[in-house]
Each structure stands twice: as structure tokens, then as C-alpha cells.
Structure 1
Amino acid sequence: WEKIRGIDPSEVDAGARRKSISSERTFFADVHDDEELEQRLLKLCCSVGRQLRTKELRARTVTVKLRDFDFTTRQASTTQPEGIETDHALYALAGGLLRQLRARRPAGVRLLGVGVSTLVRQAVGRQLPLFEDGTSLETERDRTLSRAVDRVRDRFGHEALSPGSVLGSRDRRIDG
């Protein structure tokens, strides 16, 4: 009877596990240029990757979301056997999804988003492969580099290091 009325003396579990992380950007005008969309997608992947590493998580599922000029919302996802955390790996997957969505309907885009789910904790003391076989989306070297970039950005600000492909873009701000 009390629970139906919102009365519950038990403690609230504020430490519930996070189920997804995402970042999206709404544009003032429709974006038609695929290169510009890919640059903006890279920035979003950097933001999501940073959040993953800060929370010591990896993601198995990557989703790209588009909202077109007519407010039609479309999305595509892919799930990997192993979790990823680097901007490079996120962008590799998200870029492929963006190209699929754009090939199906190359309409003007009003909103672009990237999200990750099926989150797993970063393995502590994970067994490293003796040889990198080249089939993995990210290597231990990629993960080490991403964490080093995070430390530089912590110290000098996010704009201290940017992927070269976005340096000429009009919108350099990373949405949080």
C-alpha cells in the first residue's frame, strides 16, 4: 500500500550501474556534407571515449543516431565480441554506421549522435597477447595512447590535442 503511494523507507541505490553513454549534437542548419558529418562524428566519439575511460568502462555496442531535416530519426548499431574504449576504435565503428545510414537516405542532417552500451568494466590484470594479430579494433598501445592524451587534456585543456582531421572544421567545440 505504501509503495503504491511512493512511500518507501528503504535506501535509494544511487550507485546503479550505468547502462549507456552518449553524446549528440544538434545543428542550427541542415548538414548535407558527409565530410563535415564525419568530422563532427569524430568529435563525438572523442567525447564518448573519454567518458568511457574516465569511468573505467569498455563498450561492446556502438550506435549512431541521425535526425534528418524532416525530423525522421534513424539509427544503426553494431555489437563487438570485446569491449572497446579508444576514440580510434569508436570512430572506426561509428563511421561505418554513419556511412550506412547516409547511403540509405542522404538527406540533410539536423542532429548527429553516437552512443555506446553493453558496458563492461576494464579488465584489471588482463592477459596481453604475445603478438598482435591485427584483427583487434584496438591494441594495448592504442589504449595507452588514449590515456596519455586524456592526461594532456586534463592538464592543458581539451583543445591542447585534437585529431588532425578536425583541425579545419568550423565547430571545434566538443559537446559534453
Structure 2
Amino acid sequence: MDRWTNLRKILHVDMDAFYASVEQRDDSSLIGKPVVVGGRLNSRGVVSAASYEARKFGIHSAMPMAEVYRRCPHAVCLPVNMLKYGEVSKQIREIFLTYTPMVEPLSLDEAFLDVTGSTSLFGPADEIALMIKERIQQELNLTASVGLACNKFLAKLASDLQKPDGFVVVQPDRVQEFLDPLSVERIWGVGKKTAEQLHSLNIRTVRDLRKLEQGYLSQLLGTVGSQLYLLARGIDDRPVESDRIVKSIGRETTFTSDIADRDLLETVLLKLSVDVGRRARKESLKAKTITLKVRYNDFQAVSRSHTLAQASNLDNVIYHEACNLLREVALKQPLRLIGVTLSNLTDQEVNQLSLFSELSQDSEHLTKVMDSVKEKYGETSITRARLLKPKEHSE
């Protein structure tokens, strides 16, 4: 692979229909059936993942479950099991780390790997990619699609071209040959609105886009135009970042029926606050900003935020602030969705002691004990009394 000399060797590994594939792997009766992960059939939830059998019916991520029922009434619909998917994701990452420490997770089911410095130990980059695919198949009984290129943009494009179980290499001296036939929608930054603008100019492929001058693209699309000019030529200098900083921690839920009862909404907020608080503690992070998000039954979304004087990851603090923010929201219509997000995150060890540090330490100690019990005996082993109410209202 002489043509790769002095160039980075980047892999993008993308698991195939990850959540649905894990469910099919763990229950052989689901193999060959249209499996949809996201909620009950014909419910108010949305699709998180669809097996390739389900995709033949036009089912895709973020589709309302009611539409799934219309397209495929015999689909097998399962709830999201993030604990299980998270554990499998950790196993996948352990395989990655066998070959390089330069791993940048994008989500549970995809990551960038820089294997530039690994070739002296494991051989050429394409052989490393195939070894990773084979180990995922043999050890976890799952398939992954992999793209190999000299940068992240090209590697991610490549991994998507021959799914499932694909492997595409973009040779450095054939980048333009690879890019030119692709539709402009394939380029990062080209959403629906930008695509419509380009189509109105009869720009439909990367080859068409490449004919436009950088100045014209910048005038037409602003900073996005300059980015598209570079990407259309396969230029992307971003490094693989192995220690990505978590910028926010959020959790939201869509109700099976619209809710206007504040007491019930506050109960849901407690569950969400406990969830995001526990994740923040697991990541050794505290948040200064708490954000509440709601969506009315007409799909209008509203958010409210509050910044704390001192960062916290305690459930009670998060819940108190979320309830205060909810009181600022007019329930002019019932809600179909509610969510809580922590941001402005900081390492929990660097916080200053508050005036009530003794009380705060007691709360932190109690919270850690509850976390330990849940970790050892399961999520339902210990909970708050308010959460013992019926849970029939959300997905």
C-alpha cells in the first residue's frame, strides 16, 4: 500500500442495525423477521432501530410507531434496552482498543479509529479492518460495516456504501473517482434545505458541486459553502479524538397519551432526573446548567434553562430545578414529550465546597449508596416512593 505513505489511515466502523441485530442474536426466533426497536406497535413512540427485514417495508429510524403498524402490521416491536446495548458496545470497544488507543466513539454503534501507528504491529490497515470485522463476528455474533480512508469524512462515507457487512477502501489516488458520482446529500452539512438550494441550481452530484467556485459557494451558503467546497474534494483535516469531552447528558420520554396533569409530569421528571444524575455520576461529572424540554401535542417545542451557583449531579437538585422550570412553562396544551438535559459539565472533583457542605456530603453519600445497590441488584432494587406509581404513560 505504497500510496498510503505519509497519510493517515482512518477506519469508520458502523454496526449493522445494531439494536435490532442484538435482539435477533439473543432470540433466534426473531431471525428473518421484521424487528423494530422503539416501543409497542401503533404506540406514540418512534423507531430507534429497524432490522434489514423491516427496512424492506420502508421502516427507518425516527419513524412514528403508528406508521410502522401501517406499513408492516406483522412487525415484531420491542422496547429499547439501553443497558444491554451499552454492554455490547463496551465489548466492541474492547476489540477496537486491541488494535489502537485512538478510538473516537460517535455513539454506541459507531466509532472512528486511527490505525496509522498500528500497522507496524498488525500489518496493513485493510488487514486490521478485516481482523476487527472478523472478531466482532466471531466473538459477538454481530456484523459491522467498515470504511477505510485517509480521513474521517471519506471513511464514514465508505462504511455506508455496502451495508450490511460491508468493507470499502477509498484509495488515496482515487478519491475523486469515489466521490464524484455520489449525490450531494451524502456530504456532511447538506440537509434538506441545502439540498433544495443546490438542486434548484441543478447541482445533484458531488461532481456538479465541485464545478462551483469557493467564493460562490460561500456567498450562497455562508460558512457551510466553504466546508462543502473542501469536502467535495475529499479534504478533511480533523484528527480522531480519543478523549472526546461529554458536552451534555440528556433523557427524554414520549408519552403514549398527552398529559396536562402537573403532578404526573413532575413524577416523570423525577424519573428522568434520577436517570441523568446517575449517568453524570458514572462519568464523574457535575452540571451547572439544567434544561427542561417539552413538546406540545401540536409538536411545538419549548425549552427552559437555569444555571446553578454550584455544579451538581445530585438527583434532588436536578429534580428541584426541573420542577421549577416546568412551573415556567404554560400548559396551554397537553404535552406529548418531556425531557431533562445537563450541560455546562465539569469534573466533579474540582468543585468548591458550598456553605452547606456537610449536608451536601450526606446527600452525595446516600446517592452513592443507592447507585451501588442498583449496580449490584438491578435498577428496580431500590427506588423512590413517588416512582412506585403506575408507569403506563411513557415509552
Q: Which structure 2 segments of 5+ residues have no match?
A: 1-229
Aligned with 1:12: secondary structure? Answer: coil
Structure 2 distance, partners of 1:147, 1:6, is 48
Map 1:2-41 to 2 at 5 A.
4=231, 5-8=233-236, 11-41=239-269
Structure 2 distance, partners of 1:28, 1:171, is 8
Whether 1:72 and 2:296 are equivalent positions in the alignment is no
What's 1:132 paired with? 356
Q: Which structure 1 segments of 5+ residues have no match?
A: none
Corresponding letter in the other structure for 1:78: H
What's 1:105 paired with? 331
For residue 99 of structure 1, report the CA deviation from its aligned partner: 1.6
Would the alpha carbon gap of residues 121 and 172 (structure 1) be closer, same or farther in structure 2, given more than 3 Å must change? Answer: farther
Partner of residue 121 from structure 1, selected from 347, 350, 354? 347
Corresponding letter in the other structure for 1:110: R
Structure number, greater radius of gyration: 2
After TM superposition, the structure 1 stretch with the greater mean CA deviation from structure 2, 56-65 or 74-83, is 74-83
What's 2:381 paired with? 160
Partner of residue 281 from structure 2, selected from 11, 29, 53? 53
Corresponding letter in the other structure for 2:291: T
Corresponding letter in the other structure for 1:47: D
Structure 1 distance, partners of 2:345, 2:352, is 20
Answer yes or no: is the 8 Å Cα contact 1:166–1:172 preserved in 2. no
Structure 1 distance, partners of 2:324, 2:356, is 23
Bigger helix fraction: 2
For residue 169 of structure 1, report the CA deviation from its aligned partner: 2.9
Structure 2 distance, partners of 1:170, 1:23, is 16
Structure 2 distance, partners of 1:30, 1:48, is 23
Q: Deviations over 1:128-162 (max 9, x none)?
A: 56x7389xxx7111111111100000011111111
What's 1:86 paired with? 314
Corresponding letter in the other structure for 2:391: R
Answer yes or no: is the 8 Å Cα contact 1:32–1:108 preserved in 2. yes
Answer yes or no: is the 8 Å Cα contact 2:255–2:393 preserved in 1. no
After TM superposition, the structure 1 stretch with the greater mean CA deviation from structure 2, 37-46 or 12-21, is 12-21
Answer yes or no: is the 8 Å Cα contact 1:149–1:161 preserved in 2. yes
Corresponding letter in the other structure for 2:360: T
Partner of residue 96 from structure 1, selected from 320, 324, 328? 324
Corresponding letter in the other structure for 1:155: K
Corresponding letter in the other structure for 1:167: L
For residue 106 of structure 1, report the CA deviation from its aligned partner: 3.7
Corresponding letter in the other structure for 2:266: E
Corresponding letter in the other structure for 1:12: V
Would the alpha carbon gap of residues 70 and 147 (structure 1) be closer, same or farther in structure 2, given more than 3 Å must change? Answer: same
Answer yes or no: is the 8 Å Cα contact 1:24–1:112 preserved in 2. yes
Structure 2 distance, partners of 1:168, 1:10, is 49
For residue 123 of structure 1, report the CA deviation from its aligned partner: 1.2
For residue 65 of structure 1, report the CA deviation from its aligned partner: 0.4
Q: Deviations over 1:18-45 (max 9, x none)?
A: 1100000001210121111111110000
TM-score, normalised relative to structure 1: 0.84
Structure 2 distance, partners of 1:17, 1:79, is 20
Answer yes or no: is the 8 Å Cα contact 1:45–1:87 preserved in 2. yes
Structure 2 distance, partners of 1:13, 1:132, is 38
TM-score, normalised relative to structure 2: 0.39
Aligned with 1:96: secondary structure? Answer: helix
Answer yes or no: is the 8 Å Cα contact 2:290–2:318 preserved in 1. yes
Structure 2 distance, partners of 1:10, 1:128, is 39
Answer yes or no: is the 8 Å Cα contact 1:36–1:169 preserved in 2. no
Answer yes or no: is the 8 Å Cα contact 2:292–2:340 preserved in 1. yes
For residue 69 of structure 1, report the CA deviation from its aligned partner: 0.6
What's 1:169 paired with? 390
Corresponding letter in the other structure for 1:88: N
Answer yes or no: is the 8 Å Cα contact 1:62–1:94 preserved in 2. yes
Would the alpha carbon gap of residues 21 and 6 (structure 1) be closer, same or farther in structure 2, given more than 3 Å must change? Answer: farther
Corresponding letter in the other structure for 2:305: S
